[in-house]
A = this chain, B = another copy of it.
Amino acid sequence: MPTEERPLRRDAQRNRDLLVTAAREVFGCAGLDASLEEIARRAGVSIGTLYNRFPTRVALIEAVFLGPLELSAEHAERAAEFEDPWDGFVYFLERSCETQAADRGFTEVCSRSFPDAPAMDAVKERAGETFRKVICRAQASGQLRADFRLEDFDFAVSATAHPQWRRHLAFLLDGFRAEAAHPLPDAD
């Protein structure tokens, strides 16, 4: 039986929303190590209130980014349903780049692990498993090079977490096509 969630008082709910909004902005610009006092300031709320609502930094991070992570998992599911497997593969990469290029906080959420926020890691796991299917389909159809691995996705996206992501993802995709593949170095 999980802990019973009592509803927040009206003012508390309002402040919570202000905090999450402010955190989204600040994390988005300055990353997950941004100052919590800055977030409280921007929310127009005292630092004590922030700690009342979110006892740890990770709790606040989860409140901000669990939604976006779930959206990402949905993108993966949509990608798996594309008629053309390559198009699905490209679709998911594009959505991922798009999101991460616009939000430094989200980029860091995707590349770190959060033992204290199992819900986040679970969603990431789920999205990863779905994308694995996308990869397999694209390889089975002969469009994606056979030596592409799930872990290479992290590289692809982190490489393009910047404003010119469309151009640079295009380079990467040209390198990912089966027709372009030259043998990879043997080192693991």
A residues within 8 Å of B by Cβ?
A: 145, 152, 155, 158-160, 162, 164, 166-168, 170-177, 179-182, 184-185, 187
Q: Is the CB of A167 within 8 A of B187?
A: yes
Q: How many angstroms from the CA of A152 to the CA of B184 in the assembled complex? A: 22
* A156 → chain B closest CB, angstroms: 8
* A157 shortest CB reach to chain B, Å: 10
B155 touches A184 (CB 8 A): no
Q: State whether B155 touches A164 (Cβ < 8 A).
A: yes
Is the beta-carbon distance between B164 and A174 smaller than 8 angstroms?
A: no
A167 to B177: give the CA distance in the assembly, Å.
15
Cβ contacts under 8 Å, A177 to chain B: 180
Q: Contact: B172 with A171, CB < 8 Å?
A: yes
Residue of B152, B166, B168, B179 near A180 (CB, 8 A) is B179
List the B residue with the shortest CB-CB distance to A162: B155
- CB nearest neighbor in B for A177: B180
Q: A181: which of B172, B174, B181 is its contact (CB, 8 Å)? A: B174
Asked whether A152 lies within 8 Å of B171 as measured between CB atoms, the reply is yes
Bound CA span A177–B152, Å: 20
Interface contact A166-B185, CB-CB below 8 Å: yes
What is the CA–CA distance of A48 and B181 in the complex, to the nearest angstrom? Answer: 56
Q: Which residues of B contact A167 (CB under 8 A)?
A: 152, 184-185, 187
Closest to A181 in B: B174
Minimum-distance CB pairs A-B, first 7? A175-B175, A159-B159, A180-B180, A174-B175, A171-B175, A174-B180, A166-B185
Q: How far is the CA of A58 from the CA of B167 in the complex (A)?
A: 33
Cβ–Cβ < 8 Å partners of A172 in chain B: 171-172, 175
